[in-house]
């Protein structure tokens, strides 16, 4: 078993698994956990007192938002424009009753910032998994990249693919295979279900996560959109019929 620190924190409404392979001070983990709880307090649409809820409900103005919140909302807007509205934080009712829910971008953004925090504390080899969306650095073992399974849509314990990812990498999967889960197409307001799951591989989980959601909404056309607009990213798409699609660069990530 590798040395290092392993911790699972239930925050932002989901389990966040932090695996650090370096022998770093435990305070680094504490810092990350504090950050994630800060994000939750700031951006949760389940907490009526959070700034995002207050803003979404019209109780505070944009001027009263922190720069951090404004930056995230600006990011969300840029992704909405880029995806022609397939990613849209203002399309469905949020749990707080407002029509503003940036959760689809906040998670990836928060985990990517968490990864930066770990790096500033000297960690070079780690993997943060937030509800299946992953930011990682370095290797899992000396000279062995992280082996990342992509969950099979109908077999919870099986992997539809296993990837070897090292250095700096981010991977996110959008799917609705969980009971009650759904992803709304902002254009129709209806749940979208053309695909069983969409996985995106890149470097920055902020975008990788949001694009996974957008491509899921777009359906098969989304894979094509990604190829044309983000050739630096790779995608692995599974249809309900078991057929999968992948970008030409995806295969290089497959674990041998």
Restricted to residues 95-154, the positions that interact with another protein (CB under 8 A) are: 127, 129, 131-134, 136, 140, 146-152
* Residue closer to another protein (CB basis): 65 or 201: 201
* Residue closer to another protein (CB basis): 65 or 235: 235
> What minimum distance in Å lies between the beta carbon of 88 and another protein?
13
Query: Applying CB under 8 A, which part among 37-45, 70-78, 87-95, 173-181 lies near another protein?
Result: 173-181
Q: Which of residues 175-194 bind another protein (CB under 8 A)?
A: 175-179, 181, 187, 193-194
Asked if residue 167 binds another protein (CB under 8 A), the reply is no
Q: Which of residues 72-91 bind another protein (CB under 8 A)?
A: 84-85
Do 51 and 61 contact (CB within 8 A), yes or no? no
Among 56, 174, 207, 215, binds another protein (CB under 8 A): 174
Q: Which of residues 223-242 bind another protein (CB under 8 A)?
A: 223-225, 227-228, 231, 238-242
Among residues 38, 11, 211, 32, the alpha carbon closest in space to that of 127 is found at 32
Among residues 155, 236, 159, 249, the alpha carbon closest in space to that of 198 is found at 236
* Residue closer to another protein (CB basis): 65 or 148: 148
Alpha helix (H) residue ranges in 121-178: none
- Cα distance between residue 152 and residue 51, in whole Å: 37
Our measurement of the distance from residue 132's CA atom to the centroid of its chain's CA atoms, rounded to an integer in Å, reads 8
Characterise 205 by phi-psi region: left (phi > 0), alpha (psi -120 to 50), beta (else). Answer: alpha
Draw the binding track, 10-29, toward another protein (x: CB under 8 A; -: no contact). Answer: x--xxx-x-x----------
Q: Which two tokens stand for residue 8?
A: 């699972």
* Residue closer to another protein (CB basis): 116 or 239: 239
> What minimum distance in Å lies between the beta carbon of 42 and another protein?
20
* Residue closer to another protein (CB basis): 68 or 166: 166
Q: Which residue do the tokens 């649409």 mark? A: 45
Q: Which two tokens stand for residue 149?
A: 């399974």
Asked if residue 37 binds another protein (CB under 8 A), the reply is no
* Residue closer to another protein (CB basis): 95 or 131: 131
- Cα distance between residue 195 and residue 221, in whole Å: 11
Give all strands (DSSP E) within 78-166, no chain letters. Answer: 126-130, 133-138, 146-151, 159-165
């Amino acid at each position: 078993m590798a040395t290092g620190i392993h911790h699972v924190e239930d925050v932002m409404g989901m389990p966040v698994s932090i695996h650090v392979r370096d022998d770093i001070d435990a305070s680094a983990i504490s810092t990350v956990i504090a950050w994630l709880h800060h994000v939750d307090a700031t951006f949760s649409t389940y907490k009526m007192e959070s700034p995002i809820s207050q803003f979404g409900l019209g109780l505070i103005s944009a001027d009263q938002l922190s720069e951090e919140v404004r930056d995230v909302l600006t990011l969300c807007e840029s992704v909405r424009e880029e995806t022609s509205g397939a990613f849209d934080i203002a399309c469905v009712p949020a749990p707080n009753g407002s029509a503003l829910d940036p959760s689809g971008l906040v998670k990836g953004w928060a985990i990517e910032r968490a990864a930066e925090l770990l790096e500033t504390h000297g960690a070079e080899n780690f993997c943060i998994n937030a509800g299946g969306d992953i930011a990682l650095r370095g290797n899992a073992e000396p000279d062995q990249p992280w082996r990342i399974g992509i969950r099979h849509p109908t077999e919870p314990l099986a992997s539809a693919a296993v990837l070897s990812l090292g250095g700096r990498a981010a991977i996110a999967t959008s799917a609705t295979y969980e009971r009650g889960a759904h992803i709304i197409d902002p254009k129709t307001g209806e749940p979208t279900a053309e695909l069983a799951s969409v996985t995106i591989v890149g470097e920055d989980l902020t975008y990788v996560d949001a694009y996974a959601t957008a491509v899921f909404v777009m359906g098969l056309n989304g894979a094509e959109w990604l190829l044309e607009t983000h050739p630096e990213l790779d995608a692995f798409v599974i249809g309900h019929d078991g057929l999968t699609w992948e970008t030409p660069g995806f295969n290089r990530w497959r674990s041998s």
